[in-house]
Amino acid sequence: MTVQLPVATPAQVRRYARTLARRHPKALATALVLHALAAIAGLGAPRLLGNLVQAVQDGTTRVTVDKVALAIAAFVIGQSVLTRFARLVSFRLGERVLAELREEFVRRVLALPLSTVERAGTGDLLTRTSRDVDALARTVRFAVPETLIALVTTVLTLGALALVGPLVALPCLIAVPILWASTRWYLRRATAGYLRENAAYSDVNEGLAETVEGARTVEAMRLARQRIRRTDGDIGRSFAAERYTLWLRSVWFPAAEVSYVIPVVATLLVGGLLYTHGMASLGQVTAATLYVQQLIDPVDRLLSWLDELQVGGASLARLLGVSAGSAEPRSADDPDGVRSAADSAGSAGSAEARSADDSDGARSAADYPRAGAGVAPALVATGVHYSYVDGRDVLRGIDLTVRPGERLAMVGPSGAGKSTLGRLLAGIHPPRAGSVTIGGVPLVSLPLDRRRREVALVTQEHHVFVGTVADNVSLPRPDATEAEVRAALRAVDALGWADALPDGLGTLVGSGGTELSAAQAQQLALARLVLADPHTLVLDEATSLIDPRAARHLERSLGAVLAGRTVIAIAHRLHTAHDADRVAVVADGRIVELGPHADLVAAGGDYAALWDSWHGRH
């Protein structure tokens, strides 16, 4: 069912890489120049050694030998000093670009519409935030500078070789066709092969993790054989993937290595022939041979980083692809939103022009009055249909007016569409047909941060963020004072245990920190909600993981804090329904019963039957 998030096209990746390069022109130029100078310095030694061999052959003095040796030493020192700074500049540039890349990526992720995330599942996104960011880091840190250096060195070495003598330089070219063909063959297959290898390796890991984390279930359900089979199967697939890439290397490595030795042999042979015919000096032949040998290293490095570059490119495409889907409208990025916020003081002038775009004569986001006075505007669903999969409506014609300040409980069997309706009422998804409006404005047209000041959603999903308890609570209002955070925690009965933690509200929680129970996590989520203080709250099983009696108490104290707010509570515990102003029974995508608890019990329908059963009455 999961759909992958989009991936950027090669053209988009190239364009992005170009803008990236243009962002730091000075640092990039400095790095390139320094690397070139270092490479040139590195070319001095073979040439001078060639001269030395020639001089020795011709007969020379000790002084000349000493002078040449000193000159070589000077080049070596120069090369190492230049390399030091060249590397420093390029490493730092890499780190900077990398930081920009990942920060931009996370901003993109944070702006993703939730519906996109849900359709793709978090798995794909997690792979991108971890594996792709890591792969790109390797590429930017090592592959890009190494290939650049290797390229510069190769070109300059070839230049030096040509300077020694164009004739002795020519033989090295005979390796180019073999190298070209074999590398091309390899690179066409390598990326897919290594990606498959990594995926298979992750499967081995996932399988082991599953076995270990579910060890008790494995014992209880007597799944030992199945788990062993699963791991052995994963290993088999991982081995097949490894064999494939090994086969690629088994072809490419020997071809490349033979291509490296052929030019050395050819240079020696051709140079020797030229020398015997007096067309080249011994020094030239020696220098040429040494240069050709010296070429092996940068060429080899250049080639071996190419597949890493490919992998990095693929990762970059996946990171950039995240934003290819539409982002949520946000007032910060959205000039319209900013303007509408300014307009909210009362004038609806500019809104007139835009309201034409809105369907059904609903007013636009701009002229929706942002009521600071605490009076919640009415939330109205009209003829709402929704489907996750085309042709399979989960909601089929919901009409519901939630009165301002009302407590509405939604009950109904699993899969009836309660949660979906909750999400639509919170503006997470737009309806497929019909409308969900607040104060007459379609909810999804509001910029994200505004929408959330109107309607907030807390689900049973209990996630504790890495950070302190206070961090976790103050998410919606980072400027909240400690007193406000404490008040919010008190409102959800959580202050007691939070204060009892090793460092109180400053205790680190979440992955790697102090572990909180699911119930405590839900309390944090609700405290967050208290701080966010929206007009309307949708609570989707928000207290389901808390001990039922404590949950009831919590709901009441929460109710006190949120007095006057509209609350839509999706619940599977009937006491929530019992406490509510009205109960909506959702079944099969429709609201089948709607009214106060007492009326529904009196009516003797579904709800009444459930209520009786709860009380042991048949």
Partner 1 sequence: MRRLPLADPGIPVHRSPAAYLRWLVRKQAGTILVAMCFGIAWMLAQALMPAAIGQAIDAGLGHRDTRALLDWATVLFGLGVVQAAAGVMRHRLAVSNFLTAAYRTVQVVTRHSVRLGATLPKRVATGEVVTVGATDIAQLGNALDISGRLAGSVVSFVTVAIILLATSVPLGLLVLIGVPVLVLAIGPMLKPLHRRQQAQRELAGDLTTYANDIVHGLRVLRGVGGEEVFARRYATRSQRVRAAGYRVAGVESTLDATQILLPGVFVVLVTWLGARFALTGVISPGQLVAFYGYAAFLVQPLSTLTEAADNLTRGLVAARRVVRILDIEPELPEPETPDPVPDEPGEVELADAASGVRIAAGSLTVLVVSGQPSAARLADRLGRYTAGSVLFRGVPLDRLPTAEVRRRILVSDTGSRLFAGPLRAELDPSGALGDERILAALGAASGADILAGLPDGLDTAIEERGRSVSGGQQQRLVLARALLADPDVLILVEPTSAVDAHTEARIAARLAEFRTGRTTVVLTESPLLADRADTVLFVSDGVLAAAGSHAELLADPAYRAVVLRGEDDDRPGAAADPVADADADADADADAGVGVGAAGRRPGAAGAGAGRSGTAAEERIGAVAGDPTLPAEPRRAAEVTE
Between residue 570 and residue 589, which ones bind partner 1 under the rule CB under 8 A?
Answer: 571-575, 578-581
Site string for partner 1, 145-184 (x = CB under 8 A): ----------------------------------------
The reply to whether 20 sits near partner 1 by the rule CB under 8 A is: no
| Cα distance between residue 574 and residue 106, in whole Å | 41
Minimum distance from residue 468 beta carbon to partner 1 (Å): 12
> Which residues sit opposite 436 in a β-bridge?
381
Pick out residues in 280-319 that bind partner 1 (CB under 8 A): 282, 285-286, 289-290, 293
> What sign does the CA torsion over 605, 606, 611, 616 have?
positive
Site string for partner 1, 216-255 (x = CB under 8 A): xxxxxxxxx-xxx-xxx--xx-xx--xx--x--xx--xx-
The reply to whether 350 sits near partner 1 by the rule CB under 8 A is: no
- The residue within the footprint of partner 1, chosen from 559, 594, 605, 608 (CB under 8 A), is 559
Vertex 355: Cα angle to 349 and 360 (nearest 5): 145
Pick out residues in 85-144 that bind partner 1 (CB under 8 A): 85-88, 91-92, 94-96, 98-99, 102-103, 106-107, 109-112, 114, 117-118, 121-123, 125-126, 129-130, 133-134, 137, 141
Classified as helix, coil or strand, 165 is coil
How far, CA to CA in Å, does 499 sit from each of 46, 333, 469, 482, 485?
72, 39, 10, 12, 12
Pick the closer one to partner 1 by CB: 363 or 429.
Answer: 429
Please identify, among the stretches 10-18, 153-161, 166-174, 408-416, the one whose residues bind partner 1 according to the rule CB under 8 A: 408-416
DSSP for 569-615, please give it.
EE-SSHHHHHHSSEEEEEETTEEEEEE-HHHHHHHTSHHHHHHHHHT
Which secondary-structure segment (H or E) carries 75?
A: helix 62-110
The reply to whether 352 sits near partner 1 by the rule CB under 8 A is: no
Please identify, among the stretches 167-175, 256-264, 302-310, 367-375, the one whose residues bind partner 1 according to the rule CB under 8 A: 256-264
Pick the closer one to partner 1 by CB: 353 or 598.
Answer: 598
Minimum distance from residue 616 beta carbon to partner 1 (Å): 4
Pick the closer one to partner 1 by CB: 307 or 367.
Answer: 307
Minimum distance from residue 385 beta carbon to partner 1 (Å): 18
> Which residues sit opposite 409 in a β-bridge?
569, 583
Considering only CA atoms, which of 333, 188, 163 is closest in space to residue 248?
Answer: 188
Pick the closer one to partner 1 by CB: 334 or 606.
Answer: 606
Strand order in the sheet with 379-389: 392-402, 379-389, 433-438, 441-442
Please identify, among the stretches 8-16, 25-33, 155-163, 606-614, the one whose residues bind partner 1 according to the rule CB under 8 A: 606-614
Vertex 195: Cα angle to 193 and 196 (nearest 5): 65
The reply to whether 517 sits near partner 1 by the rule CB under 8 A is: no
- The residue within the footprint of partner 1, chosen from 375, 556, 602, 603 (CB under 8 A), is 556
The reply to whether 341 sits near partner 1 by the rule CB under 8 A is: no
CB 188 within 8 A of CB 75: no
Pick the closer one to partner 1 by CB: 296 or 314.
Answer: 296
Pick out residues in 448-477 that bind partner 1 (CB under 8 A): 448-449, 452, 456-461, 463, 465-467, 474-476
Classified as helix, coil or strand, 24 is coil
- The residue within the footprint of partner 1, chosen from 3, 29, 181, 258 (CB under 8 A), is 258
The reply to whether 205 sits near partner 1 by the rule CB under 8 A is: yes
The reply to whether 501 sits near partner 1 by the rule CB under 8 A is: no
147 token code pair: 């290939």
CB atoms within 10 A of CB 334: 15
Pick the closer one to partner 1 by CB: 358 or 579.
Answer: 579
Number of residues that make up the chain: 618
Minimum distance from residue 336 beta carbon to partner 1 (Å): 19
How far, CA to CA in Å, does 17 sit from each of 12, 178, 396?
9, 30, 47
CB 336 within 8 A of CB 342: no
End-to-end, the C-alpha distance of the chain in Å comes to 42
| Cα distance between residue 309 and residue 298, in whole Å | 16
Pick the closer one to partner 1 by CB: 339 or 578.
Answer: 578
| Cα distance between residue 172 and residue 182, in whole Å | 17
How far, CA to CA in Å, does 563 sit from each of 162, 535, 556?
85, 10, 10
Pick out residues in 47-86 that bind partner 1 (CB under 8 A): 49, 52-53, 55-57, 60, 62, 65-66, 68-69, 72-73, 76-77, 79-81, 83-86
Cα 535 to chain centroid distance, Å, stands at 32
Pick the closer one to partner 1 by CB: 287 or 351.
Answer: 287
The reply to whether 600 sits near partner 1 by the rule CB under 8 A is: no
At residue 615, what are phi and psi to the nearest 5 degrees? Answer: -95, 15
Minimum distance from residue 303 beta carbon to partner 1 (Å): 15
CB 127 within 8 A of CB 321: no
Minimum distance from residue 224 beta carbon to partner 1 (Å): 4
